[in-house]
A and B are shown apart, each in its own frame.
Chain A
Amino acid sequence: MKLNGGQALMKSLELEGVDVLFGLPGGATLPLYDPLIDSSIRHILVRHEQGAGHMAEGYAHVTGRAGVALVTSGPGATNIVTPLCDAYMDSIPLVVITGQVPYAAIGTDAFQEADTTGITMSVTKHNFLVTEAQDIPQVIHDAFHIATTGRPGPVLVDIPKDIVDPNNPRSGLDWHEPDGHDLPGYNPATEVDPELIRRAADLIVAAERPVIYSGGGILKARAAEALRDLAELTEIHVVTTLMNRGGFPDDHPLCLGMPGMHGNYTAVTALQESDLLITLGARFDDRVTGKVDAFAPHAKIIHVDIDAAEIDKVRRADVGMRGDCRAVIEALVAELRGRSGLHTVDRSSWNQTISGWQERYPLTYEQSAPGEALKPQFVLEQLRDGTPDDTIVVSGVGQHQMWTSQWWKFNHPYTWVNSGGLGTMGFAVPAAIGAKVGRPDRMVWAVDGDGCWQMTSQELVTAAAERIPVKIAILNNAYLGMVRQWQEMFYDERYSEVYLSPDLPDYVGWSRAMGCEAFRVEDVDEVESVIAKANEIDDRPVVVEFRVESAEKVFPMVPSGRSNSDIVVDPSQQG
Chain B
Amino acid sequence: MAKTLHTLVVLVENKAGVLARVAGLFARRGFNIESLAVAPTPDERFSRITFVVDVASAPLDQVVKQLDKLINVVEIRQLPPAESVERELMVATVNASAAQRGEIMDLVRIFEARVLNVGPDHLMVSLSGSPGRVDDFEDLLRPYGIVELQRTGRIALPRLSRTTTPA
Contacts and interface: CB of A to CB of B under 8 A. Distances in A.
B74 A185 contact: yes
A93 to B, nearest CB: 15
A371 interface: no
Interface string A469-494: 00000000000000000000000000
A253 B126 CA distance: 75
Interface in B105-156: none
A423 B131 CA distance: 47
B12 A121 contact: no
A129 B71 CA distance: 14
Given A309-B66, A313-B62, A185 B17 contact: no
Contacts of B24: 121-122
B88 interface: no
A540 interface: no
Contacts of B45: 184
B71 A183 contact: yes
B68 A308 contact: yes
Q: How large is the interface on A (under 10, 10 to 19, 20 to 34, 35 or more residues)?
A: 10 to 19
A560 to B, nearest CB: 21
Q: How large is the interface on B (under 10, 10 to 19, 20 to 34, 35 or more residues)?
A: 20 to 34
B63 to A, nearest CB: 9
Nearest to B17: A117
B30 to A, nearest CB: 13
Interface in A275-321: 307-309, 312-313
A185 B71 contact: yes
B62 A185 contact: no
A118 B72 contact: no
Interface string B47-87: 00000000000000110011011111111000000000000
B17 A122 contact: no
Contact of A185 (B13, B20, B28, B65): B13
A126 B21 CA distance: 10
Contacts of A392: none
Given A121-B21, A122-B28, A308-B65, A185 B72 contact: yes
Contacts of B167: none
A146 interface: yes
B16 interface: yes
Contacts of B16: 129, 131
Interface string A131-142: 100000000000
Contacts of A186: 71
Nearest to A309: B65
A129 to B, nearest CB: 7
B73 A121 contact: no
B13 A121 contact: no
A125 B69 CA distance: 8
Interface string A58-77: 00000000000000000000
B68 A121 contact: no
21 contacts: A121-B17, A121-B21, A121-B24, A122-B28, A125-B71, A129-B16, A146-B71, A184-B45, A185-B12, A185-B13, A185-B71, A185-B72, A185-B74, A185-B75, A309-B62, A309-B66, A309-B68, A309-B69, A312-B62, A313-B62, A313-B65
Given A118-B20, A121-B24, 7 more contacts: A129-B17, A184-B45, A185-B12, A185-B70, A185-B73, A186-B71, A307-B69
